[in-house]
């Protein structure tokens, strides 16, 4: 419930039979925390006093599901606890500690820290990009959802920038942060567990899905070692193949 002045303004409900919601927290680096405090102490900052000694931030992601199928959100908006009208074109809802504009209809774009280079909201955007990776990983590991449908939550960043150009800097910050984790951590389900996308073979001509070759024959024929084919159930999935097209190494496609 949202209560202002002793009166209930809004009642917010969540249907767990329809929604998937996950929260993630991350500590704020000491240097960034010190910079925030120093900026607030000047008395000229647009960063609210409540962010003094800001030592941890929380980001939440949400999408819908129908049974085991993850359903992307169309026209998804950003939340700063309360909803804004801002959209970055992502296929999921996101709630964070970012600072909204005074009317709460948009994300603040001019909240700069003291050095005039570090944007407070962009720093939180970077953290959110990291956390997206771990949300996807948690959904995959839960075994509650069809694997391919989880990959439908990976944003088409080029499309997002094209259609939401006013937020280009934010989208790029989010993208870079997400892709840095993706480059280091394992996320693709394979027969032996889970592997890094840099070591995934994208069978673009369908030799393994058509039954012409076994996985072992394909890898031997292609003279490939220390790489993996994704689980068979993923190889014909549209969302997963879009993900591979964007992130698999070109010499493995």
pLDDT by residue for the chain (253 residues), tens digit each? 778 788 877 777 666 778 999 999 999 999 889 989 988 898 877 888 899 999 999 999 999 999 999 999 988 999 998 899 999 999 999 999 999 987 888 988 776 665 667 788 999 999 999 999 999 999 999 999 999 999 999 999 999 999 999 999 999 999 999 999 999 999 999 998 999 999 999 887 778 887 788 888 888 877 878 899 999 999 999 999 999 999 998 877 6
Predicted local confidence at residue 134, as pLDDT: 98
Predicted local confidence at residue 14, as pLDDT: 64
Predicted local confidence at residue 116, as pLDDT: 67
> Would you say the pTM of this structure is higher than 0.75?
yes
Report the distance separating Cα 221 and Cα 228, nearest Å.
Answer: 14
Q: What is the DSSP letter of 182?
A: H
The answer to whether 182 and 136 are in contact (CB under 8 A) is no
The answer to whether 251 and 200 are in contact (CB under 8 A) is no
Predicted local confidence at residue 111, as pLDDT: 60
Report the distance separating Cα 215 and Cα 14, nearest Å.
Answer: 43
Predicted local confidence at residue 138, as pLDDT: 97
Report the distance separating Cα 56 and Cα 29, nearest Å.
Answer: 9
Kindly give the interhelix angle for 120-142 and 168-184, rounded to the nearest 10 degrees. Answer: 40
Query: How many other β-carbons are positioned within 10 Å of the β-carbon of residue 14?
Result: 9
């Amino acid at each position: 419930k949202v209560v202002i002045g002793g009166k209930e303004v809004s009642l917010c409900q969540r249907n767990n039979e329809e929604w998937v919601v996950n929260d993630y927290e991350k500590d704020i680096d000491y240097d960034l925390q010190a910079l925030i405090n120093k900026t607030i102490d000047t008395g000229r900052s647009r960063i609210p006093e409540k962010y003094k000694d800001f030592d941890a931030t929380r980001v939440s992601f949400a999408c819908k599901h129908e049974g085991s199928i993850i359903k992307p959100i169309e026209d998804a908006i950003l939340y700063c606890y309360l909803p804004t009208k801002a959209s970055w074109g992502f296929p999921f809802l996101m709630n964070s500690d970012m600072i909204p504009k005074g009317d709460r209809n948009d994300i603040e774009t001019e909240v700069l820290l003291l050095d005039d280079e570090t944007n407070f909201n962009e720093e939180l955007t970077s953290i959110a990009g990291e956390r997206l990776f771990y949300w996807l990983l948690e959904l995959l590991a839960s075994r509650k959802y069809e694997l391919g449908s989880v990959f439908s939550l990976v944003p088409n960043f080029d499309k997002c920038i094209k259609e939401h150009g006013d937020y280009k800097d934010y989208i790029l910050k989010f993208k870079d942060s997400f892709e840095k984790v993706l480059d280091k951590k394992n996320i693709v389900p394979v027969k032996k567990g889970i592997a890094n996308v840099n070591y995934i073979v994208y069978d673009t001509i369908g030799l393994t899905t058509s039954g012409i070759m076994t996985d072992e024959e394909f890898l031997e024929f292609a003279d490939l070692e220390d790489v993996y084919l994704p689980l068979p159930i993923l190889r014909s999935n549209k969302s997963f193949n879009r993900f591979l097209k964007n992130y698999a190494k070109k010499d493995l496609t």
